[in-house]
Amino acid sequence: MKNIRLIIIDMDGTLYDMADLIADGFDTAVAYMMEFYEFEKEDAIKTLNDNHIYPYVAADARSTTQFFLSRFIDIYHWDSYRSVHFGYPLIVKEKAMTEEMLKKLADIAPLVLLTNNTRINVSHVLNQIGVSEDIFTEIMCNENENKSPTKAVLMEKLMKEYDVRPEETLSIGDRFDVDAKPMIMLGGKALILKKPQYLNKFLQEIEDPRDCEEYQYYD
């Protein structure tokens, strides 16, 4: 890890356990489609499922925001709606990453939080899990990045901003397609965690980060 000069970390499902509120988020998306786009409930559920959006954790799960973006839905309107309905109280602090874990990452390299969530939701989530925003060198949200359709674009932007090469960059997240694949395609490294607490396991084995049940490391 000595050659890592930039760490990009995801928020939802990475800093906290997505299982705590994924069903609530799914229900919010269904309600939004019914209220503003005249979907029947069964049709909304089927449409989301067909696009790999589920009320449970799944390996092939995709971002609701990115799906809405691909359908030309007003993302600012969706962001405002979900900010009001976001299930902060459902997040269990004891199952989330601790500030101590994140400080260990920040000691290795600049730590950037990159998320499809809104800035106001980021503040609420970090407050809920007891993590200071000051841990991060930068917080980049979709609402101030022109709704970029892919994380790869934002990852490249960050590499240029911090003047680092792909092989000097590590992406940490919970979903391969969203958090690892774009970085790997760019030539960088990626870490996919099965649970937020498993970051400790990785940090303990950092000299020999082999794949195990708790995480997968791509180098």
Helices vs strands, H then E, count in the chain = 9, 6
Domain layout of the chain by residue ranges = 6-18+92-218, 22-85
The predicted pLDDT at position 125 comes to: 93
Q: Is the pLDDT of residue 85 over 80?
A: yes
**Burial code of 183-199, b = ≥16 C-beta within 10 A, e = fewer?**
beebebbbbbbebbbbb
CATH number of the 6-18+92-218 domain? 3.40.50.1000
* Per-residue DSSP letter, 31: H
CA angle 201, 206, 209 (to 5 degrees): 80
With contact defined as beta carbons under 8 Å apart, do 184 and 164 qualify? no
> Which pTM was predicted?
0.83
Percent of the chain with pLDDT over 90: 57
Which of the four pLDDT bands, split at 50, 70 and 90, describes residue 149?
Answer: low
Mean pLDDT on 9-24: 90
Mean predicted lDDT score pLDDT of the chain: 89
What are the two backbone dihedrals, phi and then psi, of residue 114, each rounded to the nearest 5 degrees? Answer: -120, 120
Per-residue model confidence as pLDDT tens digits over 34-58: 999 999 999 999 999 999 999 988 8
pLDDT of residue 53: 95
